[in-house]
Amino acid sequence: MNAQIYTREIDPPEGRWKSRLVNLTLRLLVKSSHGLNIDIGKLRKQFDRLDGQAPKAFPANVRREAVNCNGVAAQWLTPTDCRPERVLLYIHGGAFVAYTPEVYAAMVASWCQPLKARALLVDYRLAPEHPFPAALNDALKSYRWLLNQGLKPENIVIAGDSAGANLVLALLQRLRDDREIAPGCAVLLSPFLDFTLSGASALGNARHDPIFTPAFAIGIRGFYAPAETHGLPAVSPLFGSFAGLPPLLFQVGSTEMLLDDSVRAAAKAAAAGVPVQLEVWKRLPHVFQMMPALPQASAAQRNIVGFVNRYTAWNG
């Protein structure tokens, strides 16, 4: 029996002028530098500059602590009033090649407090030095490490963005195939799920996307996995089976090149009987949730908290 897909197109009037300004800034500073010939060193410096712009006032009631998860580097974010049995496992984006720990810590900490949960931010091995399947294996090790700490799968929520959301979905499919117990639910922000770039939005939104270009998407995917693997579900989890997966929340911008990755994945999940919520946010950029100046980021966070509470026993 098919599950109903809960789809919302969201266009709140508050913050529209800010989103236009953000889109223009991204188009000028980021998109203009994205070509086919990608210099990893320069790209990582760009991410480092982004990380330096993270909010300086990190919540005083959230403790940060480095941890080793079966050989995988990570950090705990632990609010003082959290319920320690509740864990958000977060797998970051960064095109598989970069990490902005300060930006992600700030965003995820803001989720932890209303959820009364702690978060584990995974610092998986990066491409091209460590190509597929290194990052996916690190994500799997981190999840199994949490279970070995005595945590119950239903009290774990997995979330990720962009490349990290690719790893989230691939991890869920791997757990299902290995007959391991899945987490309570999963949140995917602007996921990059199709390395073949077969979605209509990959070209249809190319002019409108304020960050990505087709040349950049073609160039970056090769650092993570060779061309002959791009159609494999472990690399492009859109092509995998969605049967037996936990409830899924997708949030994506309407002008993203990756829009159809979310739309098609949500449809496949619903057809497989998986509870799924798809949110298409009007004219918002890739992973806008990490931009605290946008009122829409706070609204998206509230929806994430509501979704997690709906599909876990965390409400209260």
Domain boundaries 5-311, corresponding CATH code: 3.40.50.1820
- Count of C-beta atoms within a 10 Å radius of residue 75: 19
Distance of CA 67 to the CA centre of its chain: 21
Buried-exposed string 228-239: b where 16+ CB fall within 10 A, e elsewhere: ebbeebbbbbbb
pLDDT at 309 over 50: yes
Residue 81, token pair as written in the block = 């009033």
Angle between helices 101-115 and 295-311 (to 10 degrees): 50
pLDDT band at 1 (very low <50, low <70, confident <90, very high): very low
Question: Collapsing DSSP states into helix, strand and coil, what is residue 224?
Answer: helix
Segment holding 62, helix H or strand E: strand 62-69
| Sequence-ordered list of residues with C-beta below 8 angstroms from that of 269, at least 6 positions apart, any chain | 3, 5, 242, 245, 248, 276
- When comparing pLDDT for 26 and 233, which is higher? 233
Residue 17, token pair as written in the block = 């002028």
**DSSP at 41:** H
**pLDDT at site 184:** 97
**pLDDT at site 293:** 84
**pLDDT at site 242:** 98
Q: In this predicted model, what pLDDT tens digit does every residue of 198-221 receive, in sequence order?
A: 999 999 999 999 888 899 999 999
CA distance 130 to 126: 5
Segment holding 170, helix H or strand E: helix 163-177
pLDDT band at 34 (very low <50, low <70, confident <90, very high): low
Using alpha carbons, list the distances in angstroms from residue 233 to 177, 188, 203, 226.
12, 17, 22, 14
CA distance 304 to 299: 9
Do the beta carbons of residue 258 and residue 252 sit within 8 Å?
yes
pLDDT band at 35 (very low <50, low <70, confident <90, very high): low
Using alpha carbons, list the distances in angstroms from residue 157 to 112, 222, 232, 248.
11, 30, 25, 10
Q: Tell whether the torsion through CA atoms of 267, 268, 274 and 277 is positive or negative.
A: negative
Residue 190 backbone zone (phi > 0: left; psi -120 to 50: alpha; other: beta): left
pLDDT band at 314 (very low <50, low <70, confident <90, very high): confident
Q: Which of 125, 91, 130 has the alpha carbon at shortest distance from 223?
A: 130
| Sequence-ordered list of residues with C-beta below 8 angstroms from that of 155, at least 6 positions apart, any chain | 85, 86, 87, 184, 312, 313, 314
* 162, 190, 201, 236: the active-site residue: 162
Percent of the chain whose predicted confidence (pLDDT) is above 70: 90
- Count of C-beta atoms within a 10 Å radius of residue 281: 27
Residue 98, token pair as written in the block = 């970069």
Active site includes 162?
A: yes
Q: In this predicted model, what pLDDT tens digit does every residue of 72-127 receive, in sequence order?
A: 999 999 999 999 999 999 999 999 999 999 999 999 999 999 999 999 999 999 99
- Count of C-beta atoms within a 10 Å radius of residue 14: 11
**pLDDT at site 20:** 74
Q: Which of 206, 283, 198 has the alpha carbon at shortest distance from 238?
A: 198
pLDDT band at 65 (very low <50, low <70, confident <90, very high): very high
Q: In this predicted model, what pLDDT tens digit does every residue of 219-271 receive, in sequence order?
A: 999 999 999 999 999 999 999 999 999 999 999 999 999 999 999 999 999 99
Q: In this predicted model, what pLDDT tens digit does every residue of 128-163 receive, in sequence order?
A: 999 999 999 999 999 999 999 999 999 999 999 999
Residue 160, token pair as written in the block = 């990720």
Could you state, in order of their start, the residue ranges of all structural domains in the chain?
Answer: 5-311
Residue 41, token pair as written in the block = 């060193």
Supply the pTM of this predicted model: 0.93
pLDDT band at 292 (very low <50, low <70, confident <90, very high): confident
